[in-house]
Chains A and B, each alone.
Chain A
Amino acid sequence: MTDARADRLDEIIASHSRREGPLLPILHDIQEEFGCVDEAAKRQIALALNLSRAEVHGVVSFYHDFKAEAAHKPVLKLCRAEACKARGVEAIVGDAEAAAGDRVEIETIYCLGLCSVGPNAMVGKKLHARLDSSKLTQIIREMA
């Protein structure tokens, strides 16, 4: 790890020092900035918070939002929970995967809270609703 990166991690950790139970906010910031929480980051956090590396690893690996490695391609989160299933998401998954190919990663998530206008997807923080096969493949095509 470069020194600059280690310094930045220390800065992030320090910015949450006044919080009670600061681990999740720290992990969110690191995930946001570096796209993952890697081994070196885990060790540095453990040292700073007086935790064991195993404890930090346990937390990182528990939550779906924290990744061990940064994604190599853009990610589209597609909801496949009950309400979106009721509105036909399963029928368009195949087309979406075909359009995504190796360029875009389609991640399954459960619920974006837009359950009356599904199927729904999220790219970054942008939400998409009322998807059908052509709208969804259009979004995927524009992502790469």
Chain B
Amino acid sequence: MVTVRISDDALALACGADEVANAFIKAGHTVERVSSWGMQWLEPLVEIDGKGFGPATPADVAAILDGSSPLAIGEIASHPFIARQQRLTFARAGKTRPTSLDDYAATGGWKGLERARAIGSEATIEEVVASGLRGRGGAGFPTGIKWRTVGAAKADQKYIVCNADEGDSATFADRMLMEGDPYCLIEGMAIAGFAVGATKGYIYCRSEYPDAIAKLEAAIRLSRHIVAPFELEVRTGAGAYVCGEETSLLNSLEGKRGEVRAKPPIPALVGLFGRPTIVNNVLSLAAVPYILAEGAKAYADYGMGRSRGTMPIQLAGNIKHGGLYETAFGITLGELVNEIGGGTQSGRPVKGVQVGGPLGAYLHPDQFDIPFDYEAYAAVDALIGHGGITVYDDTIDMADMARFAMEFCAAESCGKCTPCRIGSTRGVELIDRILARTPRQRDVVEGLPQMHNAVRTPRTLDEEIVLLEDLCETMKFGSLCALGGFTPYPVLSALKHWPEDFGVAARLPEAAE
């Protein structure tokens, strides 16, 4: 009889991990359900004595046990995909049983919280400031500065809100952390609560993650005595992408429509129920236990420029070796896609990659030397966002993807501001006209005799393209939040790098201004 370790992460389950686990149990073996290593192309991954086999099906069980299985990948920890990573936030991935308090404590758990309590609240905040940690949700705002603001605010009640509304396509690091290492998030939130004097925390998790919600609720129950007097509650989103925006999330938590609030006032001062509130992403909060346990310097020693520490990067889409890759900032896009990711799953050439989810720019293989860094991406009109990378092969039509970006914005807009609500719909129509080669005709009102300034001729294709760029500029600078404000990134980058997909000639860089 051997002990077999199989993940119970949602992705493993979707790939049939339960069926494989049951087959091992039926064969008389002990199965431990652990977190996922993040080598998702190998899920369900079976681990016996540190050695891995995947992707396994119940039919492979006998061969795995007698050592003849062709699915063997050798020692998991020394697999190149794992060995090359610098896992700080995901140090426990694949190694512990998610809701086991014993496993968590045995792997350095709660040390950060203990140290925070020992050094006091102000020193805790300064430690986070010194680590250089920036918001991992996408905006990249320095986490420590946010904490300082909330810490200095005076109020009868403060809140810690964890943004777990991970709606971006190509991102799953929040889900993996919540399902695989929920205590790490709980510890991070307890540290934040202690640092700023907040006694109540909410985790706002999207409803598409039922497994994560179940794990978190179990973990919160089991660890209540450790984090007390800090109290935690999971709240479930209701399918609105825009609730990943922090002010819209706060409205949703309050039981309102998830409409964006104008800033200022910032949530750090006037947040949940009008009280000072820290709103941090799952990955930001989950990085905190390491920073406190090992010291700010240990964390800040990783990274480049003003992007300190590590980023859990998510490799997704049409990629051969998809999964979670946590590494220091500075790694190039080409390394991630071609070396680590192994190129496309289909074997066809990479046409482009989208970094940062539905609101991130499309990058051309010519840009593969760009280092993973907030500023380097901003310099080329792109963003790293939540660190999700979607790879596309040459069968994708980038004009279709640009249209989808507008369509997605229209479907998910909260409706509060005009550039996003109406601009996105006009954007879909405009791209449809460009692709159908049916420029807009003069309408009835424009033909009235008193409309002597109206243009008499239909628009040309060029004019439609200029209009699209103009619309994107209005959305970018006129929208209240990142949904309308960043939708132009995928649209304009697709137009810039793949004009042929729109059926137009390459445009001079000046023309895009």
Contact = CB atoms under 8 A, between A and B. Distances in A.
Is A bound to B? yes
Majority secondary structure of chain B interface residues (helix, strand, loop or mixed):
mixed
B335 interface: no
A115 B317 contact: yes
A74 interface: no
Interface string A64-89: 11100000000000000111111100
Chain B residues touching A, range: 35 or more
B196 to A, nearest CB: 18
A87 B172 contact: no
B169 A117 contact: no
Contacts of A130: 15
B169 A20 contact: no
A97 B392 CA distance: 25
B239 A125 contact: no
Given A21-B254, A117-B14, A83 B408 contact: no
A7 B255 CA distance: 22
Given A63-B240, A66-B238, A87-B317, A114 B390 contact: no
A86 to B, nearest CB: 4
B404 interface: yes
Nearest to A77: B208
Contact of A65 (B40, B239, B401): B239
Interface residues of A, number: 40
A113 B240 contact: no
Interface string A107-122: 0011111111110101
A109 B239 contact: yes
B370 to A, nearest CB: 20
Contact of A83 (B41, B169, B323): B169
Contact of B43 (A23, A66, A117, A118): A117
A23 to B, nearest CB: 3
Interface string B238-263: 11110000000000111111110000
B40 A116 contact: yes
Interface in A86-141: 86-87, 109-118, 120, 122, 125, 127-130
Contacts of A115: 169-172, 314, 316-317, 322, 388, 390
Interface string A55-67: 0001100111110
Contact of A111 (B169, B256, B345): B169
Nearest to B169: A81
Interface string B286-329: 00000000000000000000000000001111110011000000
Contacts of B13: 127
A122 B208 CA distance: 9
Contacts of B233: 19
B325 to A, nearest CB: 11
Given A24-B252, A65-B207, A115-B314, A128 B14 contact: yes
Interface string A10-51: 000000000111111101100000000000000000000000
A110 B396 CA distance: 18
Given A63-B239, A85-B401, A86-B390, A109 B317 contact: no
Majority secondary structure of chain A interface residues (helix, strand, loop or mixed):
loop
B167 interface: yes
B236 A24 contact: yes
Contacts of A129: 11, 14-15
Nearest to A116: B322
Nearest to A111: B169
Contacts of A66: 238
Contacts of A127: 10-11, 13-14
Residue from A112, A113, A118, A127 with most neighbouring chain B CB atoms (10 Å): A113
B74 interface: no
Contacts of A84: 169
B216 interface: no
B253 A113 contact: no
Interface in B373-394: 388, 390-393
B354 interface: yes
B58 interface: no
Nearest to B172: A113
* A-B complex: 10 closest residue pairs judged by Cβ atoms: A116-B322, A23-B255, A64-B239, A115-B316, A63-B238, A86-B317, A81-B169, A127-B14, A129-B14, A65-B238
Interface of A: 19-25, 27-28, 58-59, 62-66, 81-87, 109-118, 120, 122, 125, 127-130
14 contacts: A28-B236, A63-B240, A63-B258, A86-B391, A87-B318, A110-B241, A111-B167, A112-B10, A114-B11, A116-B40, A116-B314, A116-B319, A117-B11, A127-B11
Given A65-B239, A83-B170, A114-B14, 9 more contacts: A22-B255, A25-B235, A28-B238, A64-B238, A81-B408, A83-B316, A86-B396, A110-B169, A116-B317
